[in-house]
Amino acid sequence: MLSLLPKEHINSAGIYRISNTVNSRTYVGSAKKLGARFRSHKSLLLKGKHNSVIMQRFYDKHGAGFLIFDLVELCDEDQLLEREQHYIDSEQPSFNIRKQADRNSGIKRRPETIAKMRAMGKERAKTDAGKAHIALMRATPSSGNTGHKHTDETRAKISANQNRKALSGSNHYLSSISPAQAVEIRAFVPEKLGDMQRLAGRYGVSKSTIERIRSGQRYKL
């Protein structure tokens, strides 16, 4: 993916657009740090985990060379969703799965911005597309656990599991490493590539477990 974002705006907040040189499909989004969002899009597409299935399919078929990340406008953080929604409504970007700007946690908005967003939401709800969306949401059963009551047996299992997770060192319910072995692991000095993997094999655990033991995250003496 090619970035046309000016270097001086890498850490700026604003609205961006992802377009392509094959067809007219685009994606519009907002970010507190535009450079970080560009890198996030590249990483998700590379891993095949992008939230836009349509853009992921385009990437899988054509590759990254046909996608262009560009700046639309700079704006204050508390105006990001309002401006993003403006461009989603006006441009109808087909790479966007959701047609409503998502909430960005941690952003404090001005009262007038909140009022504008509520007014825009009410106006969208009056349209045919808005009414159809509301009807669909009401007809779709919730997958959450709202109102679900656990049995006494289930609550006891949950409580026991939480108590086990609170233990550390050789008392941890998943631990297969003794205190003496943990000391040996921490004292080990790798000399060449592959030593950590061989150490993990010696104790019958994963390499990541060995690394967490050495850093003090996995095993507390």
pLDDT 10s digits, 21-69: 999 899 999 999 999 999 999 999 999 999 999 999 999 999 888 999 9
Are residues 118 and 9 located together in one domain of the fold?
yes
Q: Of 66, 98, 126, which closes a domain?
A: 126
Domain boundary among 126, 150, 182: 126
For residue 221, being part of any structural domain is answered with no
The residue segments making up the domain with residue 178 are 164-215
Quote the number of domains for the chain: 2
Six token digits for residue 83: 């401006």
Q: Quick check: 100 and 88 in contact, CB under 8 A?
A: yes
- Can you read off the two tokens belonging to residue 206? 């994963």
Q: What are phi and psi of 185, to 5 degrees?
A: -65, -40
Tracing tokens 């969002």 back to the chain, one arrives at 37
Question: Is 146 a member of any domain?
Answer: no
Percent of the chain beyond pLDDT 90?
40
Residues 6+ apart with CB under 8 A from 116: 82
- Lookup result for tokens 């908005």: 109
Looking at the domain assignment, is residue 150 inside a domain?
no
Q: Retrieve residue 188's tokens.
A: 């080990």
Residue at which a domain ends, from 126, 156, 189? 126
pLDDT digits (tens, 9 = 90+) for 91-147: 999 999 888 887 544 445 567 766 766 776 677 666 665 666 566 555 544 444 445
Query: What letter does residue 142 receive in the DSSP assignment?
Result: P
Q: Return the CATH number at 72.
A: 3.40.1440.10
